[in-house]
Structure formats: structure tokens, C-alpha cells
Amino acid sequence: MGAGQAGLATAAALIARGMEPQRDFVVIDSSARGQRTWSARWPSMRLLSNAEHSSFPRRPLEGDPYRYPTPGDIEGYLHRFEAELGVNPVWGVQALAVTRHGNGPTLLLSTTVGEVQTRNVVCATGAAARPRFPKWAADAEVEGVQMHTNAYRTPEQIPRGRVLIVGGGIAGTEVASDLAKSHDVTLAVRTRRAEAHPRQFPTQPRVSPWRRVKIAPEPLYDALRDKGVSIRAETIGVDGAKFAFADGYRQAYQSVVFATGYEAGDEWLPTQPQLQRRIPTATTLPGLFVAGIPVHSQARANTLPGVWTDAARIARFIYARP
């Protein structure tokens, strides 16, 4: 389930085991044709890792390996990989539930177009499928706009006036930097980032244990302050347009952008599916596997190199199932 990087990696691993797409397995996706989540990211966004470390193994991104790819780069890469594999995803079909069918090895997959009986189901619906909002977000009443970063494209979307960005991760800092040239920006940060964005400070690098990319120790927030961005403590609530912060500060804003992360696309799985602790990605429901979601696998599962490991493991178990 899912035609993004996890679904295509799994398809490639199954093909490597001799299985034929559209005959031995089918890839479905709830999105409109070809609209992967990468197409929903703002154009000025850049990946944390350079192109050399932002692709499937032995299938490098085209162009300069040291550049930091855009969402468009990754979207094009996945489209080309899909064509190379000969996979024709069935778009606009959403998985709703999966259960065991009777006492045998068959699973019953419920979708928006009906039910399917199958021996194996791979949940590849992504670690960043749905925007996450704080519980108090529904109480915000601003005169400008309120949006998640998944809807942000350009500064022109945000009317003039004070803008609050909730969340000090990479998405929040990149949007803050983008808006700083034209808006009065405040960035609300839950905790200080221990590491800066690698592109901002190329000196004194160290190696991240997860991404194997150079990350500099200097604080990124100082660079944002130099651009005029105000850095405040965590936002803890709102009354209309007036936002409250953890340090007691209160301020009204005309617009708010939530850089508060995403929920995984695993809500259709059985309630709290138990993982086989000795077999990451495999659940205790025989034939049900999860690819590309770290909580169901390993920390790097939501990266292109990491999901390739998930996919190879899943294909091996599917091939060996009696």
C-alpha cells in the first residue's frame, strides 16, 4: 500500500525475487495519479543530506552528488524509478483495514473500492502521511492564514503582519528563513536544536550517525536572528489571535504556520499491531508487513537508503512464506 519511496523499494525487492508487477503483486495509492507527498513540499525546501546520500543503493540521483536535492528532484527520481521497474500503481485507492480471513494464511484487505483477499499486505503508506497539529490549534482565530508547512509554497501566501511559526525543526527554520525577507517572523521552539542545518555552517563539521552527512555545531538560531527572526519559547496555547508561550509571554499574530511534523499513514492497520521483535517490519498478523515507518522498523526507515533495507527484508520473508 503506497506508491512512494517505500512502496517502490518494496516493488523493486519483489521483482529481484522473480515476481512480476501487475501479475504477482499490485501497488495501490490513495493519492491522485502521480501525486506523491514530495509534490506537496515547498519549492525552496532542501533535503538534509546531499544527493549522494539521498537515493536508493546503486541508483544515484542525476547531477551533482554534493548538492542538496529539492522535493522536485526526489519526485522526478521516483517517477523515473517507477517507469524503470514497470510498475503501474493503481491511484486513488485507499486502504481502510486489514484482517485475517478465516483460519488460513489469507488476509482480507478492505479498500475504498472493495475487498481483496491476498496472502501478503505491505503497509508502505509513509512516516509523513498526515500533518500533525497541536491540540490547541483549533482554538486559533487569526485574520490572515493558518496552515501547516505541507501547504506552504511561497511567502506570497502569507499576508502582511506578524507571522508565528510553531516548531523549531528543519521545516520551521527553513520557512522562517524564507519568510524573513518579507515578514515580521517569530519562531516558537520547544527545545534548542543541538545541531545546525549542514548547509548553513560548513565549518567544523561532524558526522551524523543516521544520515552520514556533515552537520555543523554552530546554532542555526543565531543565523535566523541575524535575519530579524524572533526566537521564542514553546507555544502552549492560544486565545483567538493571542498566543501564549511557555515563558509567560503573550502576543497576537496575524498568521500562523504549524511546523509540527506529520503522522504516519498506519491508521488503517489493526489496533496496535505487534511487531515480531526478532523480525523488524513483520507483525504478528502473518503476511502483514510494514515498510518505511521507523516506529515499526528501524530509525532510518523513512530515508531512501533505510527503506531499501526494509524492502529487501520484507521481500525475503514474502518469498519464503509457505
What tens digit of pLDDT does each residue of 133-144 get? 999 999 999 999
Residue 219 has a pLDDT of: 65
Residue 11 has a pLDDT of: 97
pLDDT digits (tens, 9 = 90+) for 273-291: 555 544 556 777 899 999 9
Residue 283 has a pLDDT of: 79
- Phi, psi angle pair for 167, to nearest 5°: 120, 120
DSSP 1-36: ---SHHHHHHHHHHHHTT--BTTTB--EESSSTT--
Partners of residue 231 on adjacent β-strands? 187
Instruction: Please say whether the dihedral angle defined by the alpha carbons of residues 298, 301, 305 and 308, taken in this order, is positive or negative.
Output: positive
pTM of the model: 0.80
For every one of its 322 residues, what pLDDT tens digit does the chain have, with 9 covering 90 and above?
789 999 999 999 999 999 999 999 999 999 888 777 777 677 778 887 899 989 999 999 999 999 989 888 999 999 999 999 999 999 999 999 999 998 888 999 999 999 999 999 999 998 888 899 999 999 999 999 999 999 999 999 999 999 999 998 888 999 999 999 999 999 999 865 433 344 443 333 333 333 333 332 346 888 999 999 999 999 999 999 999 999 999 999 999 999 999 999 999 998 755 555 445 567 778 999 999 999 888 888 999 999 999 999 999 999 988 7
CA quadruple 269, 273, 279, 281: dihedral, nearest 10: 30
Distance CA(51)–CA(78), nearest Å, equals 14
Distance CA(6)–CA(296), nearest Å, equals 13
